[in-house]
A and B are shown apart, each in its own frame.
Chain A
Amino acid sequence: MKKILERMPDALARLLVVFIGLAVAGAFVVIVLIPKPLKDVKIQWADAVKREQAKPVKYAGFHACAECHDKIYDKKKTGYHRDLSCETCHGPAKAHTEDPDKVKPVIPQERAFCPQCHAYNPSRPRGFPQINPVAHNPLKPCASCHNPHDPKPPTTPKECSACHGEIARTKAVSHHVQLECTVCHQAPQQHKISPRSVKPTKPQTREFCGKCHAKDAKDKLARNAPRIDLANHGEKYVCWQCHYPHSPEVE
């Protein structure tokens, strides 16, 4: 050993001492100074398990609900909400299972609750039922139309106002109140299922509005409608490029 050290260049020997010193110091820090729980994963796991076990149990699990509410349970089992646990909406119910009369789980009724999942958000998967909470039947509690234990896939809305509430309300106080939406728009059945890919038509010609508003219009509904001369009014523009048909201005 001594011979090797003697034959080694002086500089190299000194560097070796430094590096070995550093390695020993590092090993000392790692092995001796750092307390074991900081390094040993098993001890950390055991501690974590103990910590978790000490927490009070709040949730009962849906099997507990099924024992008493079997009808609702069976109904939900086949519906679209089958993957949701009861306590997702009704909150932790362990206390309720222990004393059913005294502690009642919540029944969410405010309109803000369902939109947590069903408000329109472009990052949600396509086909997931989504609504605009402002325009979708304002003020009505969700449960008045949808049964949360067996929600139906978006049924065909009877009226356009189900989705286009703002336009419907605007039109309701305008001169066009008497006109059905379908007078001007043809909505294919598919529009109600995938509203963004299949769009309803819009009037594309001046003659369409002219059926009521041209000088020589004969439509019965248009008895009191303002008349214009199609030949020299508004040049080449389609009517709705200047007039908003859902709330046409008073002449």
Chain B
Amino acid sequence: MTNEIFKSLSEILPQITGFIYPNEIEIHWGMLIVVYPYITGVVAGAFILASLVKVFNVKEVQPLYRLSLLTALSYLLVAPLPLLSHLGHPERSYEMFLTPQPSSAMAMFGFVYAWYLMAVLLLEIWFVYRTDLIAWAESESGPMKWIHKVLSLFSKDRSEGALAFDHKALKTITIVGIPSAFLLHGYVGFIFGSIKANPWWSSVLIPIVFLFSAIVSGVALVILLYMVITPLTGGKINMKCVDKAVDFLFYAVIVDFSLELVDFIHRVYQSEEEIKILSEMVMNKLFMSLVIIQVLLGMILPLGIISVTKIFKRRFSLNEDLRKMLYFISVLLIQFGIFATRWNVVIGGQMFSKSFRGLTTYKMEIGGIEGLLYALVLLVLPIVILTVLLKILPPWKEMKGEGNGKELTGEAPLGGMHAPEA
């Protein structure tokens, strides 16, 4: 054990610059804590996109509605895993609910999470799919019939009154859901923003910046998934919908970018005692992940690409394939950019010494519970869950409805991924 410590220390020590305190050599919040805000951000962002349809009546993005709800759910199911793995003893996590500790923001996560999962997301998905579940359960046979029957809670009511109630309930849940989604990711930002001893984190702007970067990452991810899944299932991408969604993404990126810029200018103008070490960190240790990936590749370049498609609208409106490709590149770049944002916040906040006189370094492990491979598993897991959810709760009717120019029914053969026996 001691030898292992010496070995890892001897690798890190030459990387340290200036003076740091002994307990600052090792970075404790590693890769898993980077993955955690990224995943919860996707949840909040995807839900906000879904609420565009229900609350703000943006009809163009209707094909993304169910996909974004399912995306939010599959990412939400994975959201606590990095925390549980990082803390260890997952079997004790229920104690958070038995002994609520309102003065600890971290201990409140269980409640924020449970509220969002049980009172918002599951309820909304259930109401959205209720009538479809009944229809599927009636027309199918075998295990699928029973799965859908159980999921519909054995309800059979498809009367006018029931549909009207569904509609009303959905609207209410979405209206409650928007502040809840803000709460979920604002909470994650608050955890960092409220640490007053750490000048890289301690800022009232952090929860808001987190929120907008969450919207950016969620919307971009749903667009990305839509552009990948639709062709895979034999559908045609509805460009009207993608155009509108990218519109919203564009404005969200601009707001996110300006907020981060405000934060940056504020820090530089205030020039408090930490500014020297922070600027040294940004220019050396975080240069690649912050300046290059987060700002240049993750924000300015996609903003530029989308702006070009907007400025030369007439020219691009003729060429759908080119527009598709440009959008695809933009949303992909934004994903990397937002992941880099999470990295810079979490890792950056631990890289400089509290003495403001030195910098340590982060040595990522490959294997092990805190390692790269496990983090990759956590990042892929939501996609696996989403695949299962897409099989159980196929959203194709809605996704392809307008794309093919004709309304498909829920019982029709569903593009290769799900073909229930007629």
Among residues 97 to 151 in chain A, which have CB atoms less than 8 Å away from a CB atom of chain B?
122-123
Interface code A6-18, partner B: CB below 8 Å = 1, 0 otherwise? 0001111011011
On whether the beta carbons of B123 and A11 are closer than 8 Å, the reply is: no
Chain A positions within 8 Å of B169 at CB level: 11-12
A58 within 8 A of B: no
- The chain B residue with its CB closest to the CB of A9 is B165
- The chain B residue with its CB closest to the CB of A122 is B19
Interface code B145-186, partner A: CB below 8 Å = 1, 0 otherwise? 000000001110100011001100100000000000000000
Number of A-B contacts (CB under 8 A): 33
Among B153, B157, B162, B355, contact of A15 (Cβ-Cβ < 8 Å): B153
**Interface range on chain B: under 10, 10 to 19, 20 to 34, or 35 or more?**
10 to 19
Among residues 343 to 391 in chain B, which have CB atoms less than 8 Å away from a CB atom of chain A?
355
A39 within 8 A of B: yes
On whether the beta carbons of A15 and B98 are closer than 8 Å, the reply is: no
A216 to chain B, nearest CB (A): 48
Among residues 101 to 128 in chain B, which have CB atoms less than 8 Å away from a CB atom of chain A?
118, 123, 126-127
Compute how far the CA of A29 lies from the CA of B97 in the bound complex, rounded to whole angstroms: 12
B285 within 8 A of A: no
Given contacts A11-B130, A15-B123, A30-B98, contact A123 B155 (CB under 8 A): no
On whether the beta carbons of B153 and A9 are closer than 8 Å, the reply is: no
Given contacts A11-B155, A15-B123, A18-B153, contact A123 B21 (CB under 8 A): yes
- The chain A residue with its CB closest to the CB of B166 is A11
Chain B positions within 8 Å of A10 at CB level: 155, 157, 162
Chain A positions within 8 Å of B155 at CB level: 10-11, 14
A38 to chain B, nearest CB (A): 8
Interface code A34-74, partner B: CB below 8 Å = 1, 0 otherwise? 10000100000000000000000000000000000000000
- The chain B residue with its CB closest to the CB of A121 is B22
- The chain B residue with its CB closest to the CB of A123 is B21
Given contacts A15-B123, A122-B19, contact A9 B154 (CB under 8 A): no
B229 to chain A, nearest CB (A): 29
On whether the beta carbons of A12 and B21 are closer than 8 Å, the reply is: no
Compute how far the CA of A12 lies from the CA of B19 in the bound complex, rounded to whole angstroms: 62
Given contacts A30-B98, A122-B19, A123-B21, contact A14 B153 (CB under 8 A): yes
On whether the beta carbons of B162 and A39 are closer than 8 Å, the reply is: no
Given contacts A15-B123, A18-B153, contact A9 B161 (CB under 8 A): yes
B163 to chain A, nearest CB (A): 10
A120 to chain B, nearest CB (A): 13
On whether the beta carbons of A12 and B165 are closer than 8 Å, the reply is: yes
- The chain B residue with its CB closest to the CB of A29 is B94
Compute how far the CA of A123 lies from the CA of B161 in the bound complex, rounded to whole angstroms: 71
Given contacts A18-B153, A122-B19, A123-B21, contact A11 B165 (CB under 8 A): yes
Among B19, B94, B154, contact of A14 (Cβ-Cβ < 8 Å): B154
- The chain B residue with its CB closest to the CB of A22 is B118
Which of B157, B161, B355: most chain A CB closer than 10 A?
A: B157
Interface code B49-90, partner A: CB below 8 Å = 1, 0 otherwise? 000000000000000000000000000000000000000000
Chain B positions within 8 Å of A15 at CB level: 123, 126, 153
Chain B positions within 8 Å of A11 at CB level: 127, 130, 155, 157, 162, 165-166, 169
Chain B positions within 8 Å of A12 at CB level: 165, 169
Compute how far the CA of A123 lies from the CA of B169 in the bound complex, rounded to whole angstroms: 59
Compute how far the CA of A122 lies from the CA of B19 in the bound complex, rounded to whole angstroms: 10
A67 to chain B, nearest CB (A): 41
Compute how far the CA of A18 lies from the CA of B162 in the bound complex, rounded to whole angstroms: 18
A54 to chain B, nearest CB (A): 26
On whether the beta carbons of B19 and A9 are closer than 8 Å, the reply is: no
Among residues 125 to 142 in chain B, which have CB atoms less than 8 Å away from a CB atom of chain A?
126-127, 130
Given contacts A10-B155, A15-B123, 9 further A-B contacts (CB under 8 A): A9-B161, A9-B162, A11-B130, A11-B162, A11-B166, A14-B154, A15-B153, A18-B153, A22-B118
- Which residue numbers of A lie inside 8 Å of B, CB to CB? 9-12, 14-15, 17-18, 22, 29-30, 34, 39, 122-123
Residue pairs across A and B with Cβ atoms less than 8 A apart, 26 shown, are A9-B161, A9-B162, A9-B165, A10-B155, A11-B127, A11-B155, A11-B157, A11-B162, A11-B165, A12-B165, A12-B169, A14-B153, A14-B154, A14-B155, A15-B123, A15-B126, A15-B153, A17-B153, A18-B153, A22-B118, A29-B94, A34-B98, A39-B98, A122-B19, A122-B355, A123-B21
